[in-house]
Structure 1
Amino acid sequence: MLSANLALAVPEIILAVGALALLVIGAFAQKQTTLIGGASVVVLVAAAVAAATQPFGTAFGGGLISDAAATFAKVAIYLASAIAIPLAQPWFERRGMRTFELPVLILLAALGMGMMASAGDLISLYVGVELHSLALYIMAAMHRDNAKASEAGLKYFVLGALSSGLLLYGASLIYGFAGSTLFSEIAVAAGSEANTGLLFGLVFLICGLAFKVSAAPFHMWTPDVYEGAPTPVVAFFAAAPKLAAMILFARVLADGFAGAVDQWQQVLVAISLISVAVGAFAGLVQKNLKRLWAYSSIANIGYALLGLASGTSEGVQAMLVFMVLYMIDVTGFFACLAALSRQGRAMETIEDMAGLIKERPAIGFAMTIFSLSALGLPPFSGFFAKIFVFKAALDAGLWGVAVAGLVGSVVAAFYYLRLIKVMWFDGSQGATDKPPAEANAIALASAAFAFPVVIVALYWLNDAAATAAQALGLV
């Protein structure tokens, strides 16, 4: 029995053992940061391979689920985490911080995100959420000599504690009224009769999870943390953790509350519309690009929640496709920001990008692609992502919500186009520094996938997302 359980937890075991081993090695060989970073990438790739090849089933009394949805999310999460290490570690080293803890923290965060993707009960849900969150709090404040980074880490931690309280309170209500922590047994209790206590618990649980994906009105931490945290760290926790939280969102609702779609659909629709509105209109006045993309992420999470709010398997499929394509855009954009500096000063405002296409044409072209993709302009990947989400909403009869989301997308187009205008048509403010090789390579590779090249891969991605969505309880 134990061996069967362990067989379904191989990716988590690889990450846990790898993180602990590298932590011990780093404690005795702190200068071997490159070796530890490379080994961490190998561990994450090995975990992704294990996730892609492991059998399906449930383990540890139903607390851990291995299915197509978990496999899809884990592979994407682990690969995104692996990309974050060569992007972030050299950035810190160029600033005199040879820290071996960074790749170890990414491993621990990936371990927590993998547990979120495979959570089968409220206990594993909470352990996964807190494990990845604690690692992110530390990473946000890792640039210790920077006051804004310290402030970002503190704000993230304090507000994260608040969200954990909401999540735990909701979980305790659900456990009290359902009599079990397992999603499968909660579904029986939720489907037997209209249980007001369960629905109250679900609302609190949704609020806690909405914080993790920075959905409005639980987004208050996002702009400040994005602005203050180190740029490559933002590239990490703007991508993989969002997918982990969204797949957990889908699993909780589909596996635990599939019989109460009419109730939670209203909550998700409201959060989705508020997120799109806040992200679109608040982004119009932003001058700092990291804050701008914080509001962009809030709006994009609103679109992803719109797919989930449809309450169908097609909607979950659309959400998964959207999140993977969004991960490519946001990782590439922040890789561009990490690569740009002028006389040693980071370029983070819209004005800093003036004339970038003449100074650094490759980076400028890549940022143009990411901006147009986030806008949803064809033929870039973001267009197909939004098409999937809006189609799922329309098929579910959410016509008004889809139209409101489309209006929000049109409003948000202003700040993407303003950035492109500044890069292409404004005069340069001086020569930029030579971009670091690793950030330049990641940015350009991401741009290739955001460009029409993604159309070829989209067929495979869509099929994989459909298989993952069918593994959940929605029809």
Structure 2
Amino acid sequence: MNFEPAGYSLLPIMPEIVLVVGAMLLLLLGAYRGPQTARLVSWLAILLLVVVGALEVLALPSGKLVTFGGSFIVDDFARFLKVLALVGSAVTLILSMEILGDPTRPMFEYGILVLLSSAGMMLLISAGRFDHVVFGLELMSLALYVVAASNREDPKSNEAGMKYFVLGALSSGMLLYAASLIYGFTGTVAFSGIARAATGGSIGVVFGLVFLLAGLCFKVSAVPFHMWTPDVYEGAPTPVTAFFASAPKVAGIAIFTRVTLTAFPGIVPQWQQIVVFVAIASMALGSFAAIGQKNIKRLMAYSAIGHIGFALVGLSAGTVEGAQGVVVYIAIYVAMTLGAFSVILAMRRNGLHVENISDFAGLSRTNPPLAFFFAMLLFSLAGIPPLAGFFAKFYVFMAAIKAGLFALAIIGVVTSVVGAYYYLAIVKVMYFDEPAPGIDKVRLELRGVLAIAGLFNMLFFIYPTPLINAASAAAKSLF
């Protein structure tokens, strides 16, 4: 077997092979031992994700590796975002331990579905051809459809799974139609070949590009294809919502960035117009629509839509600085989101989860540490300095300004100020409203995730160099 990083070598894809084989072995374990192995299977799944992440960073040779005729690419961009997606998947499995330990509905399949979805994310992040994009997207999405409806006794969960499945199928159809149009006018589905052929901006390629970006907007919850997000976030079990808000967003933004910058570098003005519109619409809707929300999960859904808009501000620049801003933004966003969902999962009274914002009333007096860390995460989501969220927005806005997109940067700042209102409103409820009844004792794993995410967001400004340098190397590998 040839293990050179070219041709049809298996070395670049070895972490994905280990992940899929491990998932199959855990499936056999769960099927043999029964549903009560849910927690064991999930802890082994977390260990497997850690091993795969280590393989991705330590076992593969440095530099750019290409295999399967250019359809699978491992570069610094892929390495960074794969590790970030694996971290998101592992942390959401940790956050899910409570529902996995529920004896009334044990689900050993949950951890395996997360593993298979993570394998799809890794394939998607490394995709170098449109057929590989579709394969990675479907592997990622099919598992997500199932976990969205994993609480079969809850009508809202079933509704969430159905809505996500129907609209996900529509987005997949758009992507396939886009790939067929682009293939018809360029004669190839490889990103490198399309980059050579699509330099004149022919009408057929532009039409295919429109359908392509529409399909990708579905996957990352960008306006105007965001309509599934609030209902799915609210209806899915809360740990599943945390999963949707973290790891799949990484994969979606990764392929959004790779496709536009590597497949269509010769027609930047054409796709830049679309991305600018989507960024503005997402930031505006995410800022204004969340103001009237009463359910914290629906609010986080609109928050996610807005943050995707901010990330796309960096992509709109079409430069190395813009790509670096996107990578920095999505990394910090994952940390903020997982920390916030650890607080939402901690809100239990008499063994039942509470999700209304009014249930956070007086939390600063009943559980001061939880209220403090949640407030810091909300300030970070709002982009208040010197927290990590401020630097995330700083890098994407500076990239837009350097690219001459002054109006886009100004709109981003204005919508960021508007969006700060609903984050500060939650802080006001926690610190100034009359206390609601105290919550149950917070589980150890939730406290651990919250502490790590909270400290990262508060202390990021002291030593941001490792993340910034890694993001810079990732961005440069695309150009």
User: Which TM-score applies when normalising by structure 1?
Assistant: 0.97
SS at match of 1:283: coil
Deviations 1:93-113 (A, max 9, x none): 237322111110111011000
| Residue matched to 1:302 | 309
Q: Is the 8 A contact 1:91 1:338 kept in 2?
A: no
1:32-52 alpha-carbon deviations (Å, 9 max, x no partner)? 222211211111111111111
Give 1:438's aligned residue. 445
Q: Which amino acid aligns with 1:321?
A: V
User: What does 1:414-453 align with in structure 2 at a 5 Å threshold?
Assistant: 414-451=421-458, 453=459
Q: In 1, Cα distance between the equivalents of 2:121 and 2:463?
A: 24
Q: Which residue of 2 aligns with 1:49?
A: 54
Structure 1 residue 76 and structure 2 residue 81: aligned? no
Aligned length: 471
Determine the structure 2 residue equivalent to 1:15: 19
Structure 1 window deviating more from structure 2 (155-164 vs 94-103): it is: 94-103
Does residue 199 (structure 1) correspond to residue 206 (structure 2)? The answer is yes
Pick from 161, 178, 192: which aligns with 2:186? 178
Cα drift, residue 333 of structure 1? 0.5
Pick from 394, 399, 410: which aligns with 1:403? 410
Could you say if the C-alpha distance between residues 176 and 457 of structure 1 is closer, same or farther in structure 2, counting changes exceeding 3 Å? farther
Distance in 1 between the 2:230 and 2:103 partners? 24
- Give the counterpart letter for 2:269 in structure 1: D
Matched-pair identity in %: 45
- Alignment correspondent of 1:280: 287
User: Do the aligned partners of 2:39 and 2:100 also contact (CA within 8 Å) in 1?
Assistant: no
Quick one: which of 358, 367, 370 aligns to 1:360? 367
User: 1:39 maps to which residue?
Assistant: 44
1:355-409 CA distances to partner (integer Å, 9 max, x unpaired)? 0111111211111011100000011110010000110000000000110111111
**358, 372, 376: which one pairs with 1:369?**
376
Task: State the one-letter code of the partner of 2:440.
Answer: D
User: Does the CA contact (< 8 Å) of 1:363 and 1:444 recur in 2?
Assistant: no
| 1:9-45 CA distance string (max 9 Å, x none) | 0111111111111111111112222221121111111
Kindly report structure 1 stretches of 4+ aligned residues shifted beyond 3 Å.
1-4
Question: Pairwise mapping of residues 56-71 of structure 1 onto structure 2 (< 5 A)?
Answer: 56-71=64-79
Question: 1:69, 1:469 within 8 Å by CA — same for their partners in 2?
Answer: yes
Q: Is the 8 A contact 1:362 1:444 kept in 2?
A: no
Distance 2:198 2:190 in 1: 12
Contact 1:227 / 1:291 at 8 angstroms: preserved in 2? yes
Q: Give 1:469's match in structure 2, choosing from 455, 460, 475.
A: 475
Q: Partners of 1:45 and 1:278 in 2: how far apart?
A: 36
CA contact (8 A) 2:100 2:108 kept: no
Q: Which residue matches 2:389?
A: 382
SS in 2 for 1:472: coil
CA separation of 1:445/1:94 partners in 2, compared to 1, >3 Å: closer, same or farther?
A: farther
User: Counterpart of 1:98 in structure 2: which amino acid?
Assistant: P
In 1: Cα distance, 2:401 partner to 2:239 partner: 37
**Any idea what SS the aligned residue of 1:32 has?**
helix
User: TM-score, normalization: structure 2?
Assistant: 0.96
For 2:427 and 2:403, the matched residues in 1 are separated by: 35
> 1 CA distance for matches of 2:340 and 2:159?
23
Residues 227-306 of structure 1: matches in 2 within 5 Å? 227-306=234-313
Q: Is the 8 A contact 2:39 2:101 kept in 1?
A: no
- 1:169 and 2:177 are equivalent in the alignment: yes
Match of 1:343 in 2: 350
Residue 331 to residue 32, structure 1, CA distance change in 2 (3 Å): same
Give the SS at the match of 1:220.
coil
| Distance in 1 of aligned mates of 2:103 and 2:204 | 52
| Residue deviations 1:241-299 (CA, integer Å, cap 9, x gap) | 11111111111111100111111000000000000111111011101010001001101
Query: Match of 1:29, as an amino acid?
Result: R
**More off after superposition, 315-324 vs 50-59:** 50-59
1:440 Cα offset (Å): 2.2
Q: Which residue of 1 aligns with 2:331?
A: 324
Counterpart secondary structure, 1:65: strand
Deviations 1:168-219 (Å, cap 9, x if unpaired)?
A: 111110111111111000111112x231111110110001001111001110
2-structure distance, mates of 1:362, 1:145: 34
* Partner AA of 2:121 in structure 1: M
Amino acid at match of 2:190: L
Unaligned runs of 5+ in 2: none
Per the TM alignment, residue 431 of structure 1 is displaced from its structure 2 partner at its CA by 1.9
The Cα shift of 1:231 comes to 0.8
